[in-house]
Amino acid sequence: MKPDPDPSTDADDASRTVFAVLFAISFSHLLNDAIQALLPSIYPMLKANYHLSFSQLGLITFAFQGTASLLQPAVGWMTDRRSLPYSLPVGMGLTLAGLVAVAYAGDFAHILTAAMLVGAGSAIFHPEASRIAFMAAGRRRGLAQSLFQVGGNTGSALGPLLAALVVMPRGQHAVLAFCVLALVGVVVLWRVGRWHRQNPHRLRPRSRGTASGGTPARPGETRRRVVLAVGVLVMLVFSKYVYLASLTSYYTFYLIDRFGVSVQHAQYLLFLLLAAVAAGTIAGGPVGDRVGRKRVIWFSILGVAPFSLALPHAGLALTAVLSVVIGLVLASAFSAILVYAQELMPGNVGMVAGLFFGLAFGIAGLGSAVLGKIADHTGIAFVFQLCAWLPLLGLLTVLLPNIESRDGDG
C-alpha cells in the first residue's frame, strides 16, 4: 500500500473489476441460498411428521422470508452510513444456529423459530454482500450482480438436490450436515470482510452524488420520476417473486397431485427448474450492460407470460420443459432491476439492495402464505392457474424512464 495514495489512483483502481472478490461473494451466496432452499425442500417431510397444513407450510415460509424482508432494508441503510466489514460472517453464524434449530425442532412453533433465525442470517448477508459486489464491480456492474445472483440461484438449485440425497433418506437430524456449508461460509466471508475493510475507497468513486434524501444527481431525473420508477420496479418484483413462490414452495406438490410422481422425482424436477434459474441469471447482468437494463426487464418479465399461461395445461414432460424455459427467462430480471435501482439512487447502494432483497423475500413469503391458504381451499392446481397471469404485469415496464449510462461505466 502506498503511503500517500493519489485520489486519481484510487479512482482508477475502483474502475477495475476484482473477480476474486466477486467469485468469493458468489460462492458465499451459493452456500447461503443452498441452506435457505433446504427448508421448502423438506416441506413434504415436515408436513408428514407434524401433520401440517398448506397454510402452516406457508407460514413457515413467511416466518423466514418475512424476517429477512423487514431486516434487510435496515441493514442496508446502516451499512451505507457505517461500514461493518465483518457483519457477513456474523450473519452466516445466525444461519448456522438456524440449521441446528431445524434439526432438533420438535413442533411447529420450534420450526417457525428456526426459520426466523435463518431469515435473520439472510437479512444480514444479502444487502452487505450485494454492496461488496457493487464495490468489486468496477465498470461492470451488471456482470458483478449477475455473478453474485448466479451463486445464489445455483445454491437454490442445489438445496433440493442435497435434501433429496441427504435429508429425505435419513430424516430431520440429517439437516446438521448442512452446518458444514455454513462453517465454510463463515471462513470465506471473514476474508471478504478483510478485503472490504482495506478498500473503502472503491465505493466512493462509483457514487455519482446524491442530494439529501436519496434524490439522484442525474440531470432530468426528478424525485417524482424516481418514485414512479421505484413503484414500477416494486410491482415487477411482486410479479416475479409471487410467481416464483408458487414454483419453489408448491411445485413438488403440484407435480405429485397432478401427475402422481414420487416425492424424490418431484424434487429432481424442482432441481431442473432451479438449475435453469441459475443458468439464466448469469445472462441478465452482462446483457444489461450491453443493451440496457430496461430492455432486459421487458424481456425477462413479460417474455415469461406465454409459457406461464401454457404450464397449467401441459402434460408432465412438457411441464418440465416449460418450467425450465420459465426459469431461464425469468432469472435475468432481478440483476437488471437491482442495478437499475442502484443507478437511480447511487448514493444508497446498500439501502437499495436491502430494500429490493427485502421486498423479494417479503413478497415471496407473504405470497407463499396466501397461496398456501388458497391451495387449502381450492387445490394446488388452481394456484398455478391463477399465478400464470402474473407475468403480464411486465407491461408496466413501459413506465420506466430511460436512465442508461452514456459514459461507459454503467
Question: Burial of 220 by CB count in 10 Å (0-12 exposed, 13-18 middle, 19+ buried)?
Answer: exposed
- Confidence at residue 200, expressed as pLDDT on a 0 to 100 scale: 65
51 Rama sector, left if φ>0, alpha if ψ -120 to 50, beta otherwise? left
Give mean pLDDT, residues 114-142. Answer: 83
Which of 100-114, 144-158, 198-212, 274-288 is predicted most confidently?
100-114
Distance CA 257, CA 273 (A): 18
Distance CA 131, CA 146 (A): 13
- Confidence at residue 404, expressed as pLDDT on a 0 to 100 scale: 59
- Confidence at residue 353, expressed as pLDDT on a 0 to 100 scale: 73
- Confidence at residue 306, expressed as pLDDT on a 0 to 100 scale: 92
Instruction: Retrieve residue 76's grid coordinates.
Output: 442496508
Angle at alpha carbon of residue 21, lines to 6 and 136, rounded to 5° = 45
Instruction: Retrieve residue 289's grid coordinates.
Output: 450492460
pLDDT level of residue 375 (50, 70, 90 thresholds)? confident
Tell me the DSSP string of 19-48.
HHHHHHHHHHHHHHHHHHHHHHHTHHHHHH
Q: Is it the case that residue 263 has pLDDT exceeding 50? A: yes
Domain range annotation of the chain: 16-204+217-399
* CATH fold of 16-204+217-399: Growth Hormone; Chain: A; (1.20.1250)
The DSSP H or E segment spanning 96 is helix 87-104
156 close to 37: Cβ distance less than 8 angstroms: yes
- Confidence at residue 347, expressed as pLDDT on a 0 to 100 scale: 67
Q: Is it the case that residue 399 has pLDDT exceeding 80? A: yes
Q: By percentage, how much of the chain surpasses pLDDT 90?
A: 15
Q: By percentage, how much of the chain surpasses pLDDT 70?
A: 85
* Average pLDDT, rounded, for the chain: 79
- Confidence at residue 69, expressed as pLDDT on a 0 to 100 scale: 73
Distance CA 252, CA 248 (A): 8
Q: Is it the case that residue 406 has pLDDT exceeding 50? A: no
Q: Is 191 in a helix, a strand, or coil?
A: helix
Its pTM stands at 0.64
Q: Is it the case that residue 369 has pLDDT exceeding 60? A: yes
Instruction: Retrieve residue 346's grid coordinates.
Output: 447511487
